[in-house]
Structures are given as C-alpha cells and as structure tokens.
Amino acid sequence: MADLPDPHFRELIHPYTGDVADARVSSHGFSSDFTAVITSEQGVFFARPCSTSPEADGIPLSGKS
C-alpha cells in the first residue's frame, strides 16, 4: 500500500493485521504525523503510530531539562 508510511511500519502492523487491502489516510490528526483506517484480512483497524521514547518527545531521561 503506497499510503502506508514505509516498509518498517508495514512489518510492525502485519502480525496484527495480516495483509493490508486498503489504507485510508486521514487528512488531519491531533499530535500525529500519520493516522489511517486500515482494512486487512484480520478486519478494520485505526492506526496512529506514536513514540514510546520519552526522549523522542523532548523529555530527557535523566530528569534534567
């Protein structure tokens, strides 16, 4: 699917979705670079990737700012 961000994202969701038939990308989202409704062999899913790293969100792990 050309609408999905990159091959790494596809690999990440594949165990949960199976093969993706369609991805309808949202034209906007709150605090996200990508949101989509994905139709796959496992059903319909809403996808909104988010960081799991506090440092990626600008929060230093050391507790110092």
**What confidence tens digit (pLDDT) does each residue in 17-28 have?**
899 888 888 876
Q: Each residue of 10-63: pLDDT tens digit?
A: 888 889 889 988 888 887 656 667 788 889 999 998 887 766 665 555 555 555
pLDDT at residue 34, rounded to an integer: 76
Per-residue tokens: 52: 């799991």
pLDDT at residue 6, rounded to an integer: 73
Give kind and range of the element (H or E) at residue 10: helix 7-17
- On whether residue 2 sits in a domain, the answer given is no
Strands, E, within 1-65: which ranges?
20-25, 36-40, 43-47
Name the domain count of the chain: 1
d(CA 63, CA 7): 34
- On whether residue 65 sits in a domain, the answer given is no
For the CA atoms of 32, 10, 22, 29, the dihedral, rounded to the nearest 10 degrees, stands at 0
pLDDT at residue 49, rounded to an integer: 72
- On whether residue 39 sits in a domain, the answer given is yes
**Which domain does 26 fall in, by range?**
7-50
- On whether residue 40 sits in a domain, the answer given is yes
